[in-house]
Amino acid sequence: MMKVAYLNYFDLLNPQSWTRSEYGFIYTNYNKAKSLESFAEVNYICALDYQLSPWRNRQVNVKRWWYESVCKQRYVHWATPHLGASLAKQIQERLRNDPVDLIIGSDTTLVSQLRVDVPVILWATNLFTPLLDRYPDYQNLCGETIRGFKDFDRQSVKTCQRFVFPSHWAADNAHEQYAVPRECIDVVPYGANLADEPSLERVKTAIAQRSEATLNLLFVGVDWQRKGGDLAVAMAGRLNQQGIPTQLTLVGGRVPQEVEALSYVSSVGFIDKFSEAGAMAMAELFERSHLLVLPSEAETYGNVLCEANAFGVPVLATAVDGIPTIVENDRNGRTFPRHEFVEGASRYVQELFEERDRYLNLAYQARREYEQRLNWRVAGQTMAAILGRCF
C-alpha cells in the first residue's frame, strides 16, 4: 500500500483543537486526508508551528506600524519566505524517521521551500494569486505582502510535480499565471462537509413533502456582501411580485435591518452546522427548502452547494470562480452572470414551477450529482486513479 504524507497546519486528528472561525476550512482538509485512506496509508504531518524570534517579532511590529499607520495598507507578517523555510524544516524533520512514497500539501506555503526526494503534489482549493484584490482578506495589501503571496505560488510551481484543484477556475489560473502544463493539472471536486449523509429514502421523502403552495428559498452565508445577500432578497421580492408566494430564509451573519423587516424574509442568524444541534437545524432547513440561492461576488468553491445537493436541493448561483464546476446547468441547478442574476433566476424559477414534475426531476438529479461527483468517496477514488497513473 502506498504511504502518503498529508501536510496541514492544523491538528486534523484532534477536532477539539479546531478553531470555530477556521472550522469549515479544517473540516475540508480533514475530509481530503481521510479520502486518501481508502487506498493509502496516510501520515498526518499536521499541527505545524510558526514561532517568531524576539528580533523578528520586533521587526514585524515595526513593519506593521509603518504599513498600517503611514501607508494605510494591510501587512500580513507570515507572507514571507521565512514561513516557507520554517515549515519546510519542520516537515523534513518529521519525515526523516518516517519516510513516505508521496507528499500532498494542502496549500503553497507548506510546499514552497520543501526539498525532498519523493514526488510532491499540491492539492489545494487555489493558489494565492487569484485571491489578490478580490477577496476581503486580500485587499489593500502592501507590496511586500503581495510579493510574499506570489512567491509562495511561484516556488510551489517549481517544487510540485502535480497540481490538483477542486475547480476549473483554480486550474485555469495556475496554467495562465504560472504556465503550469495542462497535463500536470487535475480537477477533483470537493465533497459535502456533512457528519451524517442523508439517506436516499430520506431525501426522496423530503423532496415529495416540499410545499406546493409556497416557494421556500434558502440563503447561507456569513459574509453578506460577498455572498450576495442583497441579490437573494431582491430575487425573492421579484418572485412575490410575479405572483409566486416566496419565503426566503437567511442563515449566517448580520442582516441589514431593512431586510429583517420584510414580510417574506426570515433570518435565523448564525448556525454552527458542525455542532450536533446545528447540523440537525441545517438538515431541517435543507429538507424543506426548494432551492439554495448563492449569488456570490466571489467564491473559490462553495461546499454548501454540495451539501444542498446531498439533500436534493438544486442551486441557483452566480457563474463566478469555482461555482460552475459544481453547478451544471439543468442538472443540479443553474448559474447566471451576476449582473443578470435577479432577472435570470426569477425567470428560471417561474418556468421551473409551471410544472411540478420539472422541479421534482431537477431535485432528484441534484441528489444524483452529489452521489456521482460531489462526495468525498468519489474524491478519494479519483485521487487514487490519478496517483496510480502518474506515480
161 Cα distance to chain centroid: 24
Residue 310: which of 204, 381, 222 has the closest Cα? 204
Residue 335: which of 167, 192, 127 has the closest Cα? 167
Please give the CATH topology (third level) of the domain spanning 200-372. Answer: Rossmann fold (3.40.50)
Amino acid (1-letter code) at residue 62? V
* Cα–Cα distance for residue pair 297/228, rounded to 1 Å: 6
Q: Is the fold of 2-191+376-390 the same as that of 200-372?
A: yes
247 pLDDT above the threshold of 90: yes
Read off the pLDDT band of 196 (50, 70, 90).
very high
Instruction: Return the pLDDT at 50.
Output: 85
Altogether, the residues listed in the chain come to a count of: 391
Q: Which three cell numbers stand for residue 186?
A: 487535475
Give whole-number Cα distances, 364 to 95, 199, 269, 333, in Å.
Answer: 46, 13, 29, 11
Read off the pLDDT band of 194 (50, 70, 90).
very high
* Cα–Cα distance for residue pair 42/33, rounded to 1 Å: 7
Domain 2-191+376-390, second-level architecture: 3-Layer(aba) Sandwich (3.40)
Sequence ranges of the domains in the chain:
2-191+376-390, 200-372
* Cα–Cα distance for residue pair 166/84, rounded to 1 Å: 24
Instruction: Return the pLDDT at 197.
Output: 95
Place of cell 486526508: 33
pLDDT in tens, 141-180: 999 999 999 999 999 999 999 999 999 999 999 999 999 9
Question: Is-contact 218 285, C-beta < 8 A?
Answer: yes
Segments in the chain forming alpha helices (H): 23-36, 54-65, 81-96, 108-111, 143-159, 168-178, 200-209, 224-227, 229-241, 257-260, 276-288, 303-310, 323-326, 341-352, 356-372, 376-390
Model confidence, pTM: 0.96
Average pLDDT, the chain: 96
Read off the pLDDT band of 253 (50, 70, 90).
confident
Amino acid (1-letter code) at residue 22? E
pLDDT in tens, 91-114: 999 999 899 999 999 999 999 999
390 pLDDT above the threshold of 90: no
* Cα–Cα distance for residue pair 24/212, rounded to 1 Å: 34
